[in-house]
Amino acid sequence: MPTEDRNEFVQHSLFTAKWAALGLCLVLLLKLAEMLGIPLQNFKAGDIEVSLGDDGEEIEISEVLAKNTQSIQRNQSTLADNVGSLKLLQAQVSALEAALDQMSEGASQSLRTELNIPADQKVDIEQGASEKPVLDLGTNQGVGVIWLGSYVDGAWVDTLLADPAQLPPPDQLVASNQPFSLTGNVNVRQSLPRPVNEGYFSDISVIGVATAGTDIEVISQPVRYDRETGPQYWAKVRTTFETFLTE
């Protein structure tokens, strides 16, 4: 029972007990008056009226207490109904939340199909347009961060890694201890993207471009970013890339 309803019930109970005690005191007062020979037949205090019959035995108390008792009983019944309605409402809210979660998950997984975005544009959306350096500064064997692709329902999609059907899941790429070949140009960035709501990769510097046919070695556990286009994975890799001029 919620705290507010329990407090209301206690207050009603104390109210009834108070007036019952007052009624009993009035009855005792009339009895005492009778024993002392004081002709006191009726006594009224507030909403309580007590009458002592001529034979000294008949005692009547006004209907106030009875009405209060009935009111408490009605309140208890109403409270029970409200508790039942509240539980039903809570169950309906829980069911609605579960349904919304399912709808959200399904929408996220099917968004790329509904938007009908060309494959090359999807790559640019997730990693940024990859262009070779204007100045030829040569290649560099080093470490950087790249976008690996999207992993949905146990399969790699929208990835520039070769043979996606044969690729291990994201959490097994490092343990596989094998190189993976690129099928397109990939930006090599200085560090992992920020959270999606803080700019994602927008302000992460590109230090070079790993071109198609280049092998990469995944050397850190991929990090997942939940995007409107699906879950995207980035990781630190060791690879050969054409160097950009950086400040």
pLDDT at 239: 95
What per-residue confidence (pLDDT) applies to 161? 95
Separation of alpha carbons 128 and 202, rounded Å? 8
Please report the pLDDT score of residue 151 as a whole number.
94
Residues of the chain scoring pLDDT < 70: 1-24, 26-27, 29-34, 36-72, 75, 101-125, 128-137, 245-247
CA distances 23 to 14, 28, 36, 51, 65, Å, are 14, 9, 20, 11, 9
Element (H, E) at 142: strand 139-152
Q: What is the pLDDT of residue 201?
A: 92
> So what's the pLDDT on residue 125?
67
Domain edges within the chain: 3-115, 121-243
AA letter at 11: Q
Element (H, E) at 187: strand 186-189
CA triplet 171, 174, 176: central angle to 5 degrees?
100
